[in-house]
Amino acid sequence: MTAETAAVVRGRRTLLRHARPSDYDRLHQIDTTVGDRELWRYRGHVPGLDEYEAALWKNTHAILVCELLGDDTTRRPDPSGVGAGDVIGYVHLHDVDWRAGHGFFSIIAATEYRRTGLMLEACFLFGDWFCGNTPLRWLYAHAFEDNLPQFRSAIRNGFFRHLGAYRSRVAIRGVPQDVHLLGISRDDWLTSPTRARFHRRLDHRRR
Amino acid sequence: MDDSIGDTATTQTDTASWRFAEPSDAGFLYDLAVALDPRIWRFSKHGTAPFRALETVGEYEIIAVLEQPDSGPFGFAGLVDLTGDGRCAQLDLHTAPVPGAADAARSVITEVLDAAFANGQIQHLYIERFDDDPDLIGHLDAFRLEVEIPEFAFVGGRLASRLTYGLSRDEYLTWFDTR
């Protein structure tokens, strides 16, 4: 299957597609290297590969992997080692409450692709995917205090609304940390100027 | 503060009291969840079938039944969602949709909080409610609004916001000394 046919949504530099069993090794590798904060869903311990699939899919509705398209020079720390088809992270839709019309999602980026803007594009693509493929009205994401700067641009761009912070909600290595709750509303995203700009650029690229 | 406060298993005020729930209270809790559906979200999000509701009751670490001498149980306070290290917990607090129940709960909530924090491990307590639920803690002037989730669920014919209030142990101790 080519990247094009596998794509669920395609951006300028990345595409999102549903996870396949052949992705689990890479997702496990990402999960075991991203650090404590993202391990919250595993309660601080990523299970071994033999138990990983069940843990990954617990309370999960969809896993969309983010794949790099074409040559890209934004990869860190070694721009020369870039290849199309690299899985650079994933978006995880979980704890969906169909009755209420909301759910939670997590964005996990491989450490070498952080601060490249690639996962921000994946966020925008995911926004389109959830609006087009689910009836959910709101999606929420948790962000730890020291991880919040990574979401600043998405908040500034109107993708996320900052809904508040659960003070001292978790202890990381014994130190209490606030957990921020970020939200995306379907109505906000579909009418967002950021989304309009994003699609104008995509259309321009396709022409 | 007096560390022994809250050690008693029941507390009585002029109008209301609390006691630890017993197995025979399951019927009252179920009836309350159905009467308030979907306002006790922990129950309602899974549906209010009796078997499932009993499983939800089992999620609570401790349940205090709020009652009045003449009319019996009118609400409950349940400690739930303790974090693995026991530092944080949620206090579910609900009253029956009958006149006077919210006022009666307000009269006993201080004692319930004392009992919750008498567990020396808890450092932070959260209370959640929908924006149009009775406000049972605002009069205390102790909790802080931490998170407001707009349009969280369809309740009473409208999309209601979900509010989360928090109280740290330090804030509780300050409040305890000044009240």
SS3 for A112-144, per residue? HHCCCCHHHHHHHHHHHHHHHHCCCCEEEEEEE
Share of chain A above pLDDT 70, in %: 85
Of A53-67, A171-185, B3-17, the poorest mean pLDDT is in B3-17
Q: Give A41-67 pLDDT, tens digit per residue.
A: 776 678 888 899 999 999 999 999 999
The ipTM, to two decimals, is 0.84
Q: What is the mean pLDDT of residues B35-44?
A: 92
- CA dihedral defined by A82, A87, A89, A93, rounded to 10 degrees? 160
DSSP states of B38-106 as a string?
TSSHHHHTT---HHHHHHHHTT-SEEEEEEETTTEEEEEEEEE---TTS-EEEEEEEE-SSTTHHHHHH
Helix (H), strand (E) at residue B172? helix B169-178
Cα A56 from chain centroid (whole Å): 14
Of A14-28, A71-85, A144-158, B12-26, the poorest mean pLDDT is in A71-85
Angle at B97 between CA B91 and CA B103, to 5 degrees: 65
Given CB atoms, is B151 within the 8 Å cutoff of chain A? yes
Mean pLDDT rounded to a whole number for chain A? 84
Cα A42 from chain centroid (whole Å): 17
Among the partner-chain residues A137, A163, A167, the one whose CB lies closest to the CB of B168 is A167
Q: What is the pLDDT of residue A5?
A: 52
Q: Mark yes or no for CB contact A185/B147 under 8 Å.
A: no
Contact B18, B11 (CB under 8 A): yes
Q: Give A73-89 pLDDT, tens digit per residue.
A: 554 444 444 567 889 99
Q: Which of B90, B19, B96, B95 is nearest to B61 (CA)?
A: B90
Higher model confidence: residue B3 or residue A45?
A45
Q: Given a cut of 80, is residue B151 above it in pLDDT? A: yes
Looking up tokens 């009585």, which residue turns up?
Answer: B12
Contact B133, B39 (CB under 8 A): yes
- Crossing angle (nearest 10°) for helices A24-33 and A49-57: 90
Q: Given a cut of 70, is residue A160 above it in pLDDT? A: yes
Q: Given a cut of 90, is residue B102 above it in pLDDT? A: yes
| Stated pTM of the model | 0.84
Given CB atoms, is A39 within the 8 Å cutoff of chain B? no
Q: What b-and-e string marks burial along A177-202, b requiring 16 or more CB atoms within 10 Å of the CB?
A: bbbbbbbbbbebbeebebbeebeeeb
Taking only residues 12 to 31 of chain B, the set having a beta carbon closer than 8 angstroms to any beta carbon of chain A reads none
Q: What is the pLDDT of residue A37?
A: 55
At residue A159 the predicted structure's pLDDT band, cuts being 50, 70 and 90, is: confident
Asked if the peptide bond before residue A193 counts as cis, ω within 30 degrees of 0, the response is: no
Of B98-107, B115-124, B127-136, the poorest mean pLDDT is in B115-124
Given CB atoms, is A171 within the 8 Å cutoff of chain B? yes
Contact B147, B128 (CB under 8 A): no
Contact B36, B28 (CB under 8 A): no
Higher model confidence: residue A195 or residue A170?
A195
Q: Given a cut of 80, is residue B8 above it in pLDDT? A: no
**Best A39, A96, A162, A166 residue to mutate vs chain B (most B CBs within 10 Å):** A166
Share of chain B above pLDDT 70, in %: 92
Q: Which of A25, A121, A147 is nearest to A67 (CA)?
A: A121
Taking only residues 67 to 126 of chain A, the set having a beta carbon closer than 8 angstroms to any beta carbon of chain B reads 97, 99-102
Q: Mark yes or no for CB contact A168/B147 under 8 Å.
A: no
Q: Given a cut of 80, is residue B145 above it in pLDDT? A: yes
Q: Give A88-147 pLDDT, tens digit per residue.
A: 999 999 999 998 899 999 988 888 888 788 888 998 999 999 999 999 999 999 988 878
Taking only residues 103 to 122 of chain B, the set having a beta carbon closer than 8 angstroms to any beta carbon of chain A reads none
